[in-house]
Structure 1
Amino acid sequence: MQAIFNVTLPFFALVLCGYLAARARVLPEAAIPGLNAYVLFFALPCMLFRFGSTTPIAELLNPIWLALYVGCAMLVVFLTVSHSLATGIGLKDSAFGALVAAFPNTGFMGVPLLVALMGERAAGPVIMTVLSDLFFTSSLCLALAQSHGAGDLRQGVQKALRGALGNPLPWSIALGAVFSVAQLSLPGPVAQIVKMLADSATPVALFTIGAVLWRANQAVHTRTPFAHFAPVVFVKLVVHPALVLAIGLLFIRLGVPLDSFSLTVLVLAAALPSASNVSLLAERYGADNGRIARIILWSTALAFLSFSFAVGLFGGKTA
């Protein structure tokens, strides 16, 4: 467990540093969007391009991993929306609650953390989860949110898919996959620039997560009842990875070609805290951002222990 904490502690400590820097105004609030843009449009795409260019395309689009992960995400969405509606929460807010329950922070945190823990072999499965969440999970939840009061689910799905295609992350993964299949390589100076940007992705992304969490919490002007956000945190940190593990073990028992290493990576990806950018989406779509911000904040704070425990329980090994 000490070896696991040696890897996970710096990751979560950088998130805390970003939170405290923003809270103390050492990092001006006006600088947070710039940090977020740097990670999203420069550093993280370069990191994902590098992993995509060295990962076989069969892993990036593995149908077994895709079926398992997307199927579990859909179950989490259904479970969370059903529970939220039953407690009197509207469809739009229920949909965003489901999004933070099923969409882990794989882009900003998961890829570098799981590669650090389990080696570069983990890049394929975890990058597949990034694509799955961008195109399936987020599209479904945003479509549900936009159908609130209008009933036009089809139009909501189309708008959500256009949003996913406007995200630079899947395009960087796709470009890396093209380089992998064609066995291409970047010219020396360009490769060095990409490397420098990619190397900056992890620390800046983690620091930015903390700053974004502080800003989201500052923007909250209403008090969210504990019963409206605590169950979603539990679903994210416990139910989601447990579902992936249980159904993955069922796959193996039925003879489906799923190896234990890949299953472990998918379980740990599901055990990550909620994606921090969902608070921005909630604000943009007029949902209860206070509830979403609290879910993300608590899932991130508690994940230091729950995720580290999951790594030890499911046999993750530090690289």
Structure 2
Amino acid sequence: MQATLAVTVPFFALVLLGYVAARRELLPDAAVPGLNAYVLYFALPCMLFRFGSSLPIRQLIDPLLIAIWAVSALCVIALTIVLTLRRAGRPGGVGMTDAAFGALVAAFPNSGFMGVPLLLELLGAYAAGPVISTLLIDLVLTSTVCLALAQARVHGGHMETSLLHSAARALRGAAANPLPYAIALGAVAAATGQRLVGPVERVVFMLADSATPVALFTIGAVLWRAGRHAHTRTPPRHYLPVALIKLFVHPLVVFVVGHIAVATGAPVSRSGMTALVLAAALPSASNVSLLAERYGADNGRVARIIMASTVLAFGSFSLLAWLLGSGVLRR
């Protein structure tokens, strides 16, 4: 356990430092979007390109692991919506828009800003391929499904806004994200054996090296900013269950789906499954709070789900990483 905490404590400590810096106004509120943009458009793409260009294509893209993650994500989305959607005679539920955003934070872990560096530190280089694959699925499939459901309008039993139209709009938003392009360019570089010119490679690697500490610091700052700008005060019964789904149900679903695949004879790698389960146990993606505000959802609820999952993940993720690393859950 001590070895696991030696890895996880610094990661979560950097998140805490970012939160404290934003709360104490050492980092101005107006600077947080710029810091987020630096990570999203510069540092993180360079880090993903570097990993993608260093991995064989078979290790980067494993169809079985991708299928397990996609099926698990859809199951978590469906479960979260069923459990949280408002129904006649049942108090405490929310509308479809908020239920869909709750499903998004329940099924979309913070793989980019936190997961890639953390799991590489814990598991080694083999974790890069599975975690990068999960990020691709979440950016394209998970977010598209949830945003399409969030935009759809149902009135009198009829769908007023086409799900296909909503999904197309969500896909256009995903197409503007630079991370899939960075992964694809890295895969092309690995497949062709091409390398960047010396000075260009050095710049890319310098930006990549800055991604981990700046991204973790930014998570904390984004969490503070999201909570500060939240339009509503959300009671715990509206956000805590979704945070618990993220931290406990999501990794359990991935574990079960993976073992069902193994039972059917699919050649699923044990190391790949370990990476997937730990990726599912990560806290919710912090940037979803920005999407919630943009799409008119209850960003206060979303911000508190993300905050709760991030705080609780220090204990739950560390414990799960230790259990998997010690082999307790693999016996």
Both proteins in one fold, TM over 0.5:
yes
1:274-285, aligned counterparts within 5 Å?
274-285=284-295
SS of residue matched to 1:287: coil
Root-mean-square deviation (Å):
1.1
What code does the residue aligned with 2:204 have? Answer: V
Q: Which of 100, 103, 106 is the aligned partner of 1:98?
A: 103
Deviations 1:245-272 (A, max 9, x none): 1121222222111011100000000000
Deviations 1:82-109 (A, max 9, x none): 1111443100000000000000000000
1:165 is the counterpart of 2:184: no
What code does the residue aligned with 1:37 have? Answer: A
Deviations 1:164-205 (A, max 9, x none): 111000000000000010011111111111110000000000
User: Deviation at 1:151?
Assistant: 3.0
Provide the C-alpha distance between the structure 1 equivalents of 2:148 and 2:61, rounded to a whole number of angstroms: 24
Q: Which moved more, 1:217-226 or 1:87-96?
A: 217-226
Provide the C-alpha distance between the structure 2 equivalents of 1:116 and 1:202, rounded to a whole number of angstroms: 11
Aligned to 1:20: 20
Aligned to 1:136: 141
1:74-93, aligned counterparts within 5 Å?
74-85=74-85, 86=87, 87-93=92-98
Evaluate the alpha carbon distance shift between residue 56 and residue 148 of structure 1 in structure 2; reply closer, same or farther with a 3 A threshold.
farther
Evaluate the alpha carbon distance shift between residue 316 and residue 179 of structure 1 in structure 2; reply closer, same or farther with a 3 A threshold.
farther
Evaluate the alpha carbon distance shift between residue 208 and residue 123 of structure 1 in structure 2; reply closer, same or farther with a 3 A threshold.
same
1:179 is the counterpart of 2:189: yes
Q: Which moved more, 1:217-226 or 1:265-274?
A: 217-226
Provide the C-alpha distance between the structure 1 equivalents of 2:253 and 2:324, rounded to a whole number of angstroms: 14
Provide the C-alpha distance between the structure 2 equivalents of 1:303 and 1:286, rounded to a whole number of angstroms: 27
Q: Which moved more, 1:93-102 or 1:61-70?
A: 61-70
CA contact (8 A) 2:281 2:317 kept: yes
User: Deviation at 1:59?
Assistant: 3.0
SS of residue matched to 1:192: helix
1:1-319, aligned counterparts within 5 Å?
1-85=1-85, 86=87, 87-149=92-154, 150-315=160-325
Give the fraction of aligned pairs with identical amino acids, expressed as a percent: 61
Provide the C-alpha distance between the structure 1 equivalents of 2:53 and 2:231, rounded to a whole number of angstroms: 45
Normalising by structure 1, we get a TM-score of 0.97
SS of residue matched to 2:283: coil
- Structure 1 stretches of 4+ with a deviation exceeding 3 A read none
What code does the residue aligned with 1:22 have? Answer: A
CA contact (8 A) 1:117 1:316 kept: no
CA contact (8 A) 1:264 1:316 kept: no
SS of residue matched to 1:315: helix
CA contact (8 A) 2:231 2:299 kept: no
Provide the C-alpha distance between the structure 1 equivalents of 2:326 and 2:274, rounded to a whole number of angstroms: 7
What code does the residue aligned with 2:75 have? Answer: L
Provide the C-alpha distance between the structure 2 equivalents of 1:294 and 1:106, rounded to a whole number of angstroms: 19
CA contact (8 A) 1:244 1:270 kept: yes
SS of residue matched to 1:94: helix
CA contact (8 A) 1:32 1:211 kept: yes
